Chain A
Amino acid sequence: QQQVKQSPQSLIVQKGGIPIINCAYENTAFDYFPWYQQFPGKGPALLIAIRPDVSEKKEGRFTISFNKSAKQFSLHIMDSQPGDSATYFCAASTETSGSRLTFGEGTQLTVNP
């Protein structure tokens, strides 16, 4: 059972655009929602994370929007740059799982110059 569904699978934007990646979850016990960025040949790197007591969190050009009632959260990248081209993964975990992360399927983002 896929507990975190991510869309779209791939996304192409122009430099300066605002790509939006969406995730939906099923397990209402999830209480930690991070986003990871992965470049080819590298491990995922934590970008930004949110807990369900807030609806939005910004760090630099990255913003997470969280909708607890809809069980959805999304990543917005402001003023996207070619260097942002990577694969992005959403994830979720619960404390009772020992912070074991359940990942989405990933979104391959391409930012054209």
Chain B
Amino acid sequence: DTGVSQDPRHKITKRGQNVTFRCDPISEHNRLYWYRQTLGQGPEFLTYFQNEAQLEKSRLLSDRFSAERPKGSFSTLEIQRTEQGDSAMYLCASNFHRAGYTFGSGTRLTVV
């Protein structure tokens, strides 16, 4: 493992389409997080998993967003019926218990 991998790096989609992003965390990390970052702002928490259990979702997360982490390994984040306001960098991070996070390089989503 060399770090947290995210795929794709860039995604351009038309408004109303569904998109799915993938995150592969560092293998020994039991916690996985999704954040969203818009230009000039700090990352904003979306959701996190401990192993395969999704333990918290941000109240800011609409029901068009869903995340999974089957078998406690990789995770996917799906956005249904995308809107222009969903355009952002989607960051995945992982850690073990309370150790520092390792972030991936993110997926930049542009909704046109």
The answer to whether A101 and B101 have CB atoms under 8 Å apart is yes
Count of B interface residues, CB-CB < 8 Å = 26
Q: CB-CB < 8 A to B102: which residues of A? A: 46
Interface residue from B43, B45, B97, B100 paired with A89 (Cβ < 8 Å)? B43
The answer to whether B93 and A105 have CB atoms under 8 Å apart is no
Q: CB-CB < 8 A to A106: which residues of B? A: 40-42
Q: CB-CB < 8 A to A99: which residues of B? A: 31, 33, 48, 95, 97-98, 101
The answer to whether A100 and B56 have CB atoms under 8 Å apart is yes
A43-B91, A104-B42 known; A98-B103 Cβ under 8 A? no
CB distance from B50 to the nearest CB of A (A): 7
Say if the beta carbon of B104 comes within 8 Å of chain A: yes
Count of A interface residues, CB-CB < 8 Å = 24
Question: Cα distance A91–B42 when bound, in Å?
Answer: 9
Complex interface bits, A16-47 against B, C-beta within 8 A gives 1, otherwise 0: 00000000000000001010100001111110
The answer to whether B31 and A98 have CB atoms under 8 Å apart is yes
Question: Cα distance A99–B94 when bound, in Å?
Answer: 11
CB distance from B74 to the nearest CB of A (A): 17
The answer to whether A43 and B48 have CB atoms under 8 Å apart is no
The answer to whether A46 and B56 have CB atoms under 8 Å apart is no
The answer to whether B33 and A44 have CB atoms under 8 Å apart is no
Complex interface bits, B24-49 against A, C-beta within 8 A gives 1, otherwise 0: 00000001010100001111110010
Chain B interface (Cβ < 8 Å from any Cβ of A): 4, 31, 33, 35, 40-45, 48, 50, 55-56, 91, 93, 95, 97-98, 100-106
